[in-house]
Chains A and B, each alone.
Chain A
Amino acid sequence: MKDTIAFSQFDAELNTDSCDAYNNAELTLTLKLGFNQINPAGTAATGTHNDYGDPSETSRTIVRWTPAAWTTWKEQFRSTAEAFWNGKFWLVNDAGMFSYTSGGVVYVPNVYCKIKIEASDGAAGNHHTIDVVRMPNTSAWFGSHSTLYDSNDIRRHASGTDSRGRTLMQRAHVHEVGHLLGLGHVDIGQPHCPASGDTNVTACYGVSDHSMNSVMGAGMRLRPENAEPWRNAIRGFALKATRRQGLAATVTGSPISRVFAFPTHIFASWPAKMTRHYPRTVDEALRDVLITSRIGRVAA
């Protein structure tokens, strides 16, 4: 079965057709991005644009997009960001939901987290719209932000320095896709970066080397906490499934049975893992045994 939910930041699809003794349910977030070219004025080949799109900030040289350069850039953005975020997390199903039978055995699937990024022109039908300037060379710098990128944002660049003076490298667009998925900076919620304050100050990118190396800091490291968009989505599907079950209970059950029809999702946390976790039998799930290697199962 495939179920979908449209969130404001992305669309989500939960596919349980993939489930068997070894394969989990698949949760795919689809991020629809609309890009707009920012070109020099008139028909000029080169021009200027100000950092952050703010006329009071530094003016930088930009060049006109060609159709080929535009197509190539969009595809590089799409493919590299998708490759970075796709298939990196598994959510452990501690709700006991979405069970299925394979080879006569009832399994509880975990959730394999996937992403699909669609890059098109313009704003129509997209979750996010982003302007893009083209830089004259690969080393040029431009002050970009969440809705204004530059062509070099897909390249690796020095993004910070750790406590030992080592340079941290990051590809800005994978960090920005994290924001588009709803993730904030790595140290939000810490005393030096309260969630109620400005969460873009330098300390929010991490104070410790561990934090700074995070993709939502100044580095490229994915961490289990970066699976939060998928966890939020699966909670949505769990709630939806529970409502369906509750609706069924209205036909056959008492009011109290509707309330307690399938309450397990309320207490489930769907912990994120960064190694493959295979589907569990009901007994394994009840004993909270994690299956991280391929073990003998009854063939379907």
Chain B
Amino acid sequence: MRQKIVRLACTGAVAAGLFWTAGRIEADEVAAQTVVGKECAMNRLEQSACVIEAILTDLRTTYRLAGAISGIRQISETSFTARVSREEKVDEFTYEFAFAEDGAVSIVSKVEE
């Protein structure tokens, strides 16, 4: 069973966050800003699932207020928005992804609207 690497190219905070989640991720993988994701085949459904998992991983490790994910939506071929509802407002983050030929996905940017 082949495991696919989900590359999280969003460095810094994500890498620190991944390290902080501890236990599940090896340090050398963090240094390379990669994380072993679940197996996902090279088809559109699995690739979009990998994108969503990458967003969930990022939010779990970087979002520090108390909020609930109220939506993840694709807005272009490579862009996705994640909405987090919390007290006072909805936070909206736009992620830009890169897709490798082997199916791996990488976050190349994240912007809070």
Contact = CB atoms under 8 A, between A and B. Distances in A.
A, B: real partners: yes
Interface of A: 51-52, 57-58, 141, 143-146, 153, 157-162, 165, 168, 172, 175, 200-203, 205, 212, 218
Contact of A162 (B64, B90, B112): B64
Nearest to A217: B65
B55 to A, nearest CB: 15
B66 A160 contact: yes
**Looking at chain A's contact residues, is the secondary structure mostly helix, strand, loop, or mixed?**
mixed
B66 A218 contact: yes
Interface stretch (B26-34, B43-51, B81-89, B99-107): B81-89
Interface of B: 20, 63-66, 68, 70, 85-91, 112
B63 A202 contact: yes
Given A160-B65, A172-B87, A200-B89, 17 more contacts: A51-B85, A51-B90, A52-B89, A52-B90, A57-B70, A141-B68, A143-B90, A144-B87, A145-B87, A145-B88, A159-B66, A159-B87, A162-B64, A168-B66, A200-B88, A218-B64, A218-B65
B65 A202 contact: yes
Contacts of A161: 64, 66
Contact of B65 (A144, A146, A153, A159): A159
A220 to B, nearest CB: 14
Contacts of A205: 65
Q: Which 7 A-B pairs have the closest CB atoms?
A: A160-B65, A158-B66, A159-B66, A161-B64, A145-B88, A143-B85, A160-B64
B85 A57 contact: yes
Most buried by A among B20, B65, B91: B65
B91 to A, nearest CB: 6
A202 B82 CA distance: 14
B65 A58 contact: no
Most buried by A among B65, B85, B87, B91: B87
Contacts of A201: 91, 112
Contacts of B91: 201-202
